[in-house]
Chain A
Amino acid sequence: MFSLETIAEKIAANIAYSLHMDEDKKAVMAYGIFCFSQILASILLVILFSLLFHVLGQALVICFTIAILRKYSGGAHAATPGKCLVIGTVISVVPAIVITHIPVNVIWVIILGIAAFAWAFYEVLTKAPVDSIKKPITNARKRKRLRNGSLVILGIYLLVIVVLLSLHSFAGDNGHLIRYAACILFGTVWQTLTLTHSGGRLFAMMDLHN
């Protein structure tokens, strides 16, 4: 069966054989090649499906909001790369379609934003970084650096939302800026959910049903 992980391992094995490298170097190369191809596939799928529904900008904002915070905070994982691609695409494109088509109200974005960011800061402070068996984070300094990084990213998201809502109020656009703020808000809420036990259970359920 087609698997990015297998292809990455084969490429790394060929290079390691040709350059007379040891097993450690081969494993590091396979990891690098797989990570790069998985990221590329995730972004390409989001671009493809969001173009079909005319929500490219919104879907990419959700996708990168989740991914950037996830880099520091960690979170629940899918069991296989394929399920990860499906979950990542659905979670970026479906909310983008909904946010684009429902009426959004600046007051509601502010109310939900305050609640969401209070929750996100609490979860990040108490849980981040959430590691996995395949990538345990045991070093205390690294954990502290990643937690602080998560808090900085959350602060930046909050600032961007405030700027977008202020611009909307002063410049009076036709709702695009509120929708982008709502996309950042959704991405933050989803990524925060993956830090919790409920998020872990949700991923486990999706793994079973995919």
Chain B
Amino acid sequence: MKHHFIDRYSNLESPIHKLNTTLKLFLAVALIITTVIQSQIPAYKFVLIFAVLLIALYTSHIPLTFFLKNLLIILPFACIGGLSILFANSGDLYSSFIGIKIYHQALMNFITILEKSIISIGTIILFVSTTRFDHILKSFQDIKVPSLIVALLSFIYRYVFLVIDEFMRTKMAIVARSSRQPTLTLWSYMISRSFFGSLERGEQIFQSMKARGYNGTIKTLNNENFTTGDGIILFLCLILYALLWKL
């Protein structure tokens, strides 16, 4: 299994990677909330927040191209709903092109939505890229997220690779025995066969896990303690967020 599209850079060594996971989760969510609840985000404030993200990115050794590529892939999906805001009839007329009118207030609202989306998506990309998924689960467990949700999240992570592998194996087997393009019927067989194959293997894996002592508790090799460094980062970030709030 060679799939690393989820947390590709989470195993790097950097000061950001070494931060306590619960602290990183708290800081990421707090930054998103601080940004989202503001009615307008002036350009200087947006630049300041984005600069903070870029500094964190540089410190974490994650390639800028990876960050921007992911941001540009996700951003259109987030903003597609915002297009209707752009063409809303509100405020003074800003511009008119081939019969399409854009009003000043609508444009401002759209820009605000765009800024909020860029910051929240950028924050999530940074958080996921600097944190191992098992540490995120451990953090969820520590903050008392229901154990069934944590267990299912861990199984999604484990089994999504299993499902993809099972599908690729079934597809390869079918394509190897047929010279034609797969028909709709063949596709439904492929999907159902890979589903049942995944179910069988999923059950076997679960039994193996239980045999080796799995009891639903997430355990990591290094127990993350809240260090003095974490405390300093928390203090500095809280001051920064308060400044962003007040600016």
Do they bind each other? no
Q: Which residues of B contact A (CB under 8 A)?
A: none
Binding site for B on A (CB under 8 A): none
